[in-house]
């Protein structure tokens, strides 16, 4: 974001409001018309492009000046880094799935989880798959049919079964080092993924442990299902574990994802699932799968730069400042902003991208550690995304139940998400998750943690 001081002008926010309003308005209209996945029908990058057109029409300056500002925003190093990570993460997820990695991971868990604890097991498997693959939707798609079948066969509560799957899926979406929400949160705040993961994990882990205990107590089946031995290949699970471990020990994310892609490819070539040609095609399929978010990130980067230079961010900061009295209220304000945005646009990555520049400015002004700021952005966007009835996760999840379960049945039972919200709010007032922050304080002048200096 442009750091030059700009006079405060509320009109500069109009293009951003237009972007969000178009995306939200069309989604609501299609929802009322009964269109499936209504909020995902109108491409978010097109809505952003319309906002950019209005920015060029409404904001001061010549066309050339505004175009230079827009390009500077699109080419912001953080935006470009984020986009390249998106491409590599998409390629890794696609290649690993093509060699049977997701199926092996699911089947491995189902083979060894005791039949009496199948609902807690579904939660744990969903946690691992989403943590390994970085996608909550992909985890739900992989596990949904199996979870529904087991619930029917064992006389399990269908709403609780689906809620456990949804909670586990959002666990990894929030924490995974290759999740687009984590990538967006860390890049917009300028912190390392491993550091955000450590802060985030200490907030999420208590919620996950309590959830498992509750599911073990209340999730026992009426009849014990006969859990069969599913086919799996432990070798095909290794790429996920390797990417997770390398990321956590601090290896550069570009190196980690490249190694993950190559390792998955070698496994696929060895077992005959891939040829050299199909390997390259799967990599490109992964790239294509990230095109929407790639384009959206660049366009919103340019739009944010236009808005910032015209005084929109300064205007918003002045309004927010009236409600903020210190670090704690600043963190609550960031949580509220990203939550409301996600409720509006029904996309947690979009919500983070929209609020990232504002959160960064709040973080700098009120000395909120960027690692906490990134965690709060990611956590609350995932919390809201997991419980809104019109989110992709909920809609896909309920489709497996074929109309027998409604969002109202599931939302109260997604214990992990509710506990995560409680854990995060407690962490704002009692900083139990700030161990790494205390050991390596953030230098707000140099915008790095002390261990990076």
Residue-wise DSSP of 345-395:
HS-HHHHHHHHHHHHHHHHHHHT--HHHHHHHHHHHHHHHHHH-TTSHHHH
* 288-to-71, 89, 150, 200, 213 alpha-carbon distances in Å: 23, 11, 34, 29, 40
Q: Is 5 inside a domain boundary?
A: no
Q: Is residue 332 part of a domain?
A: yes
State pLDDT tens for residues 265-282. Answer: 999 999 999 999 999 999
**For the residues 361-390, what does the mean pLDDT come to?**
92
Q: Is the pLDDT of residue 376 over 90?
A: yes
In a domain, 4, yes or no: no
Domain range spanning residue 75? 10-452
**Whole-angstrom Cα distance, residue 140 to residue 444?**
39
Residue percentage of the chain with pLDDT more than 70: 92
Residue 318: is its pLDDT beyond 90? no
- Which structure tokens are listed for 55? 């920015």
Residue 1 lies in a domain: no
Higher pLDDT, 207 or 153: 207
Q: 361 and 313 in contact (C-beta within 8 Å)?
A: yes
CA distance 188 to 78: 7
Q: What is the pLDDT of residue 211?
A: 97
Name which of 102-106, 127-131, 219-223 the model is least confident about: 219-223
When pLDDT is averaged across residues 169-182 and rounded to a whole number, the result is: 91
Lowest mean pLDDT among 8-12, 381-385, 412-416: 8-12
C-alpha to C-alpha distances, 419 to 31, 121, 208, 263, 422, nearest whole angstrom = 29, 18, 8, 37, 5
User: Is the pLDDT confidence value at 338 over 80?
Assistant: yes
Residue carrying the six token digits 């646009």: 345
pLDDT of 229 higher than 70: no
Is residue 129 a contact partner of residue 143, using CB atoms and an 8 Å limit? yes
CB 165, CB 147: distance < 8 Å:
yes
- Residue bearing the bigger pLDDT, 345 or 137: 137
Q: Do 436 and 371 touch, CB atoms closer than 8 A?
A: yes
Q: How far is CA 327 from CA 321, 358, 364, 385, in A?
A: 11, 15, 10, 25
**Is residue 323's pLDDT more than 90?**
no
Which pLDDT score is estimated for 254? Answer: 84
- Weakest-pLDDT range from 120-129, 165-174, 257-266, 307-316: 307-316
Query: In this model, does residue 89 exceed pLDDT 70?
Result: yes
How confident is residue 6, by pLDDT bands cut at 50, 70 and 90? Answer: low
The closest alpha carbon to 205, from 437, 402, 448, 416, belongs to 416
Is the per-residue pLDDT at 317 higher than 90? no
Stated length of the chain: 453
Q: Which residue has the higher pLDDT, 320 or 351?
A: 351
Calculate Rg over the CA atoms of the chain: 22
- pLDDT in the model for residue 215: 94
* 4 pLDDT higher than 70: no
Whether 145 shows a pLDDT value over 70: the answer reads: yes
Task: Categorize the per-residue pLDDT at 3 as very low, low, confident or very high, splitting at 50, 70 and 90.
Answer: very low
**Contact predicate 296/302, CB 8 Å:** no
In a domain, 388, yes or no: yes
Q: Does the pLDDT value for residue 411 go beyond 70?
A: yes
Our count of domains for the chain comes to 1
Residue 185 has pLDDT above 70, yes or no: yes
Do the beta carbons of residue 415 and residue 370 sit within 8 Å? Answer: no
Q: Does some domain include residue 2?
A: no
C-alpha span between 161 and 415 (Å, rounded):
12
Question: Rounded mean pLDDT of the chain?
Answer: 85
Per-residue pLDDT of 96-128, as tens digits, reads 889 988 788 777 766 777 767 889 989 998 998
- The answer to whether 215 touches 123, Cβ cutoff 8 Å, is yes
What is the pLDDT at residue 305?
85
- pLDDT attached to residue 228: 62
* Residue 127 included in any domain: yes
- Does this model's pTM top 0.85? My answer is no
The secondary structure element, H or E, covering residue 442 is strand 442-443
298-313 pLDDT, tens digit each: 898 888 888 888 888 7
Identify the pLDDT of residue 423: 96
- 3 assigned to some structural domain: no
């Amino acid at each position: 974001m442009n750091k030059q001081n700009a006079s405060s002008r509320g009109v500069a926010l109009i293009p951003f409001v237009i972007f969000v309003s178009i995306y939200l308005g069309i989604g609501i209209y299609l929802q009322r018309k009964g269109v499936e996945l209504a909020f995902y029908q109108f491409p978010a990058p097109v809505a952003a492009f319309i906002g950019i057109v209005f920015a060029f029409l409404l904001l001061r300056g010549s066309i050339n000046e505004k175009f230079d500002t827009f390009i500077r925003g699109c080419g912001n190093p953080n935006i470009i880094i984020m986009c390249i990570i998106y491409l590599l993460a998409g390629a890794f997820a696609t290649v690993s799935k093509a060699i049977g990695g997701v199926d092996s991971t699911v089947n491995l868990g189902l083979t060894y989880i005791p039949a009496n604890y199948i609902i807690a097991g579904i939660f744990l498997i969903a946690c691992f798959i989403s943590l390994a693959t970085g996608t909550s939707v992909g985890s739900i798609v992989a596990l949904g049919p199996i979870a529904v079948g087991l619930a029917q066969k064992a006389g399990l509560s269908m709403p609780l079964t689906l809620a456990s799957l949804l909670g586990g899926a959002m666990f990894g979406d929030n924490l995974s080092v290759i999740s687009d929400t984590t990538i967006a949160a860390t890049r917009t705040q300028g912190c390392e993924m491993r550091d955000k993961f450590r802060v985030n994990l200490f907030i999420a882990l208590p919620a996950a442990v309590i959830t498992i205990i509750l599911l073990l107590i209340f999730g026992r089946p009426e009849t014990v299902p006969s859990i069969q031995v599913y086919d799996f290949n432990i070798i095909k699970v290794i790429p996920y574990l390797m990417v997770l471990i390398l990321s956590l020990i601090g290896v550069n994310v570009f190196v980690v994802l490249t190694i993950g892609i190559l390792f998955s490819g070698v496994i696929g070539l060895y077992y005959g699932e891939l040829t050299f040609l199909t390997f390259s095609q799967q990599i490109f399929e992964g790239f294509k799968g990230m095109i929407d978010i790639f384009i959206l990130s660049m366009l919103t980067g340019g739009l944010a730069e236009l808005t910032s230079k015209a005084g929109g961010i300064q205007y918003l900061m002045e309004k927010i400042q009236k409600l903020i009295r210190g670090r704690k209220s600043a963190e609550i304000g960031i949580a509220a902003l990203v939550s409301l945005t996600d409720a509006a646009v029904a996309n947690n990555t979009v919500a983070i991208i929209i609020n990232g520049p504002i959160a960064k400015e709040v973080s700098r002004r009120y000395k909120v550690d960027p690692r906490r700021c990134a965690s709060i952005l990611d956590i609350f966007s995932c919390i809201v995304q997991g419980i809104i009835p019109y989110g992709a996760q909920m809609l896909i999840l309920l489709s497996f139940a074929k109309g027998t379960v409604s969002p109202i049945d599931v939302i109260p039972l997604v214990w992990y998400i509710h506990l995560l919200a409680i854990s995060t709010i407690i962490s704002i007032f009692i900083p139990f998750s700030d161990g790494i922050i205390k050991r390596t304080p953030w230098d707000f002048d140099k915008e790095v943690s002390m261990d990076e200096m």
